[in-house]
Structure 1
């Protein structure tokens, strides 16, 4: 499932979920955490990650903090209050979508 179209529609929710759990993260850290969690099955490219982060920031869902680390500036992203609320909503929506997809793909297992 490497770089599948299926996860691209969920990228914002994935980012928001990680930030909800970790508090704040920088871009490369997000990509590596997703790779670790999925045992290398999902690889988020910089070309997908940074536009998503910028969009979430523009929507008021993320704040950015810039810190100097090893003589370089690093941007850390964290959820705003609005972002925290929206994360709950998007996760509920994603769970419902997954449940519906499971029902379609394997109706014998549905409850």
Structure 2
């Protein structure tokens, strides 16, 4: 179980990375891919996913396409050129943050004064 705060801070990076790796995806597909990749440890709810997707769309990092599946409309998300550029930056920022947290949380090899 992971805190909602940790997920909230990383959700946009997760979405952008998945869209880069898998091309266009719809919301439920994104949630299921995360579930599979984390062996069920990380569950993204619709209440968290869609506001993040809408924010990414407003920021012009993702675009949407609608496709009719029977009588239902499915909304697909994909990266814009700006989104393609942002993925690498977001992943690097996250990696740097994780390294910094490891430094803070790891036992120090130096003696404390």
The two structures have a TM-score, normalised by structure 1, of 0.92
Give the match for residue 21 of structure 2.
21
Aligned residue pair count: 109
**1:50 aligned to 2:50?**
yes
The two structures have a TM-score, normalised by structure 2, of 0.90
The 1:72–1:9 alpha-carbon spacing in structure 2 relative to 1, beyond 3 Å, is same
In 2, the alpha carbon distance for the partners of 1:3 and 1:71 equals 37
Unaligned runs of 5+ in 2: none
In 1, the alpha carbon distance for the partners of 2:25 and 2:3 equals 21
Unaligned runs of 5+ in 1: none
In 2, the alpha carbon distance for the partners of 1:81 and 1:25 equals 16
Give the match for residue 79 of structure 1.
79
In 2, the alpha carbon distance for the partners of 1:2 and 1:51 equals 19
Give the match for residue 89 of structure 1.
89
In 2, the alpha carbon distance for the partners of 1:2 and 1:106 equals 19
